[in-house]
Structures are given as structure tokens and as C-alpha cells.
Amino acid sequence: MITEVEEKHYLTCGCCGKYYLGFIPKDKDGVQTYDNGVGMCPDCGGDPKAKTVKKRMGWAACTFYEARFDLLRNALGKEAKAKFDGLSYQKKCFVIQRMLEKGFIKW
């Protein structure tokens, strides 16, 4: 049986447009996927090996969640707002994700 060896290629980030060395993204069936670029660079799409939460998430995900922080915060009462402000960045993102999943905030 012949197996395909995965090679790194110079790709274009579909988010910021810069070139990066990476693997061509594939869907769950192993078929190559293509968008405007070919995947996302580690700065935009995140780096799972990074030390900080924001670097692991990447610019695109951070921007997505941060755009919803004030939306949620402004809808909270005084006590809940203070509690939300005291949460870590990661926990704030988790709260937003749960609200999106439950349909309280629209995508």
C-alpha cells in the first residue's frame, strides 16, 4: 500500500495574505481544501504550541471573540458586569462560545 508523504509548501494565508511554510489544509475526508489563500498562517489561525492563549487562538479567533466582549458586557447588570470584568481572557472567550452555542448571541 502506498501512502502519501505530507510535505510542507509555501502557502498564502487566506486571512492576511502573507506567505508561510505549512501543510495544505484537508477536510475530514482527507480532500485538499482551498480558499482565497490556502489555509491560515500561525499568526492568524493560531499556533497550538504557543505559550499564550492569544497566540494559540490566533488573530482571527481573538478578533472574533473580542468583538463580542462589549456586546455581552453592555447587556449585563452592574454585578454581572463586575464579575465578567474579573474573568481571564480565556474564560471570557469560553462564556462567549457557550452563549453562541445556546443561541443567546448570533454568529
Q: Where are the domains of the chain?
A: 7-45, 51-107
User: Tell me, what's the pLDDT at 1?
Assistant: 42
Q: Summarize pLDDT for 3-42 with one digit per residue, the tens.
A: 556 677 788 888 888 888 877 777 777 776 665 556 788 8
Indicate whether this model's pTM tops 0.75: no
pLDDT tens-digit map of 62-99: 999 999 999 999 999 999 999 999 999 999 999 999 99
* CA dist., res. 103 & res. 90, Å (int): 20
Q: What is the pLDDT of residue 32?
A: 66
| Model pLDDT, residue 22 | 79
SS3 of residue 101 by DSSP: helix
